[in-house]
Amino acid sequence: MIPPVEQGARTAAPSACHLAEPPTIHLSRGIDAESLHPETEAIVRQVEYYLSDENLVTDQHLLTRTGPNGTGWVSVNEILGFKKMRQYKPRAEVKASVATSKVLELQGKFIRRRTPLKIAPKVQPRFEPKSQRDHVLVEKPWLTKGMLRPTGFEEYATEGPITPTQFEEERRLFDPEDAFTTRIEYAVTRFTGRKKMHQASLAVFSKFMRFGGFETLTHMFSGGLGKKELEEYDTEEILQMNARFGVSRSVLDGLDEHSLDSGSWVVDFAGMAKAFLSSEFFQHFNWNDEKVLHDTTNVLRKFYEYLLYHDVCPEYQEDIHRAIEVCHLADEEVPQLARLESGLPGQFNIAASTLHGGLYARIRPLDEGADWVLAGDQVGLSDKDAWLAFSAGIIAHAANEQMNDIFRARKSGKNLTVIMEEDVGLEIVRVEQGTEQAAQIYGDDRISGTFIKRTGKLHCKPWHHPGSAPRDLPPGTAAGDKAKNGEPYEFLVEEDILAHCKKGMKLEANVGKLENGIMWLDLVEYAYPTFFKWTLNEQIRDWKEPGPPKAWMQRASGKTRVKENQDVVKHEIADQTPD
């Protein structure tokens, strides 16, 4: 293969038309004429030719660096290493000369043309990680080359082939006859030791480990070891000394069939993926950011793939595959959930809340023209707009009797009675949109093209969050709640919001209901994906074994004991005193 610097297209002399107009030299601020190379004009002409429309469209090597539009950054040192540029010394003067070009832009160690190519490339640029790295270093100069090295979490990253020696070693470490906790602990240690974890990926994996029954280890005995001391240990021993995580004592006891706590923990890879990605992830990370979501699921996938590839726990192979499917489902569903949560409660429900004394009636400024009212305070709808949006939805979807009740009350200057306003859990059952009646109403010239949005129906059933606190209700109220448990809920929601709804998604909301049965979502507190799962890990993940009592605790305890003894003595004296 011919070295790139020897390619004819790049080392050929510039064309006559290119030489006809010598480059215009201009001095940038901070550059004086004395710092320039004596042959500045020839240097600038040659570098401009390398990145010109004439050469770049046929130069696969440089086009790989600049990208198809030709404006990507290229290393100055690489260009100065080309055959025709090696004659110019010293490099500091050559770089200063290149900086005088009007068609090129120099920034630190990189250079690029200022304008995109005017001619379509005639060759296909190759993909090179180095080119991608150079572009990132220019855009984010605070990063280092070490920070941009492969981490093992890239999309294209795969586990390398296993040598016979490694295979024998892994069969010893991951012997199916050994306890699962021993094998999984080895696997976690080797996984973290062979993957380069930056701050974000380490934060995800640490949360995942602690949520799943691991604890963070402190390296009590590995500090201060030099190269000579480390030579006494093999690679596996060094990995174990630097292990970040270990299976917690409670899990060891819970999975040990001979322990008194046997059965208090179970191994469930898919269940843990669901619980983490639908709860813990939502609480500690910006789940609305798709990049954060993808990076999180990618960390989990890479770990599961490691377990499969190295045959760590073959008895749970199918369960691990299901966990990987959960990661793919989260990538697909959580962005929809984010758009759903940001859209709810929607225009119709805000209108209903405004007209019937709900949340949006209370947070809206009464005098919208007041001097103290800012643009951000204009929350919700005016009474007029609220009635227009609400009445359009009622006409489009409500039964005749319900519609007549609404309009009679409006005509008399009153509102129907709100018979229910409570916090409930909801599970989406189905979405109904595009009915013929709704199409006719929203297609009317008086509504079409206005601010009023087309609505459909959201059908839900009651859902109880398994982690919510128990409700202490009187027997009669509790019996009524139990009887209502199967009653359906029906809400009018805009069609652009319904597009993000999926059967099985859950909501925690405050719901209002009129005496004629019309319901609305007054406030949506939380939204959960279809794969939502709650586990007891939520309650015990931050629990720690109590340590020895501190000095102030011992002093306080001593004072309490002294006072108790004094009280006992007083009582004894009082009992012995004659009447």
* Domain end (from 95, 118, 148): 148
Instruction: Indicate the number of domains in the chain.
Output: 4
- Cβ distance 324 to 316 under 8 Å? no
Q: What Rg do the C-alpha atoms of the chain give, in angstroms?
A: 35
Q: Tokens for 298, please give them.
A: 């990618």
Which residue segment(s) compose the domain that 562 sits in? 546-579
- Cβ distance 191 to 143 under 8 Å? no
In a shared domain, residues 385 and 501: yes
In a domain, 404, yes or no: yes
Q: How far apart are CA 556 and CA 78, in angstroms?
A: 72
In a shared domain, residues 215 and 324: yes
In a shared domain, residues 182 and 301: yes
In a domain, 110, yes or no: yes
Q: How far apart are CA 508 and CA 450, in angstroms?
A: 31
In a shared domain, residues 168 and 218: yes
In a domain, 310, yes or no: yes
**Could you tell me which residues are beta bridge partners of residue 458?**
431, 491
Pairing of strands 519-528, 506-514: antiparallel
In a shared domain, residues 132 and 22: yes
Q: How far apart are CA 58 and CA 54, in angstroms?
A: 8
In the chain, which residues have pLDDT < 70? 1-32, 127-162, 219-242, 364-379, 468-486, 539-547, 558-579
In a domain, 538, yes or no: no
**Could you tell me which residues are beta bridge partners of residue 508?**
425, 526
Amino acid at 441: I
Q: Tokens for 483, please give them.
A: 């009887």
Q: How far apart are CA 308 and CA 298, in angstroms?
A: 15
- C-alpha torsion 515→516→518→520, nearest 10: -10
In a domain, 366, yes or no: no
- Cβ distance 530 to 505 under 8 Å? yes
Q: Which of 525, 564, 552 is nearest to 423 (CA)?
A: 525
* Domain end (from 92, 114, 148): 148
Other CB atoms within 10 A of residue 519 CB: 19
Q: How far apart are CA 512 and CA 519, in angstroms?
A: 6
In a domain, 504, yes or no: yes
Other CB atoms within 10 A of residue 378 CB: 12
In a shared domain, residues 205 and 100: no
In a shared domain, residues 8 and 126: yes
Residues 177-216 as b/e (b if ≥16 CB within 10 A, e otherwise) read eeeebebbbbbbbbbbeebebeeebebbbbbbbbbbbbbe
Q: How far apart are CA 382 and CA 385, in angstroms?
A: 5
- Cβ distance 337 to 508 under 8 Å? no
Helix ranges restricted to H, 99-163: 129-139
In a shared domain, residues 90 and 186: no
In a domain, 348, yes or no: no
Give the E-state strand segments of 70-178 in sequence order.
Answer: 74-75, 104-107, 110-113
In a shared domain, residues 394 and 491: yes
130 contact partners, CB below 8 Å, separation of at least 6: none
pLDDT (0 to 100) of residue 452: 93
In a shared domain, residues 114 and 203: no
Q: Tokens for 180, please give them.
A: 């699962």
DSSP state of 75: E
Whether residue 90 has a cis bond before it, omega within 30° of 0: yes
- Cβ distance 10 to 65 under 8 Å? no
Amino acid at 505: M
Q: How far apart are CA 286 and CA 553, in angstroms?
A: 40
Q: How far apart are CA 455 and CA 521, in angstroms?
A: 14
Backbone dihedral angles phi then psi of residue 315, each to the nearest 5 degrees: -70, -15
Q: How far apart are CA 555 and CA 573, in angstroms?
A: 27
CA angle 547, 548, 549 (to 5 degrees): 115
- Using left for φ > 0, alpha for ψ between -120 and 50, and beta otherwise, residue 545 falls in beta
pLDDT (0 to 100) of residue 6: 35
**H-run or E-run covering 200:** helix 199-211
**Could you tell me which residues are beta bridge partners of residue 493?**
456
Backbone dihedral angles phi then psi of residue 535, each to the nearest 5 degrees: -130, 165
Helix ranges restricted to H, 99-179: 129-139, 164-173
In a domain, 409, yes or no: yes
CATH number at residue 71: 1.10.10.10
In a shared domain, residues 193 and 327: yes
In a shared domain, residues 451 and 567: no
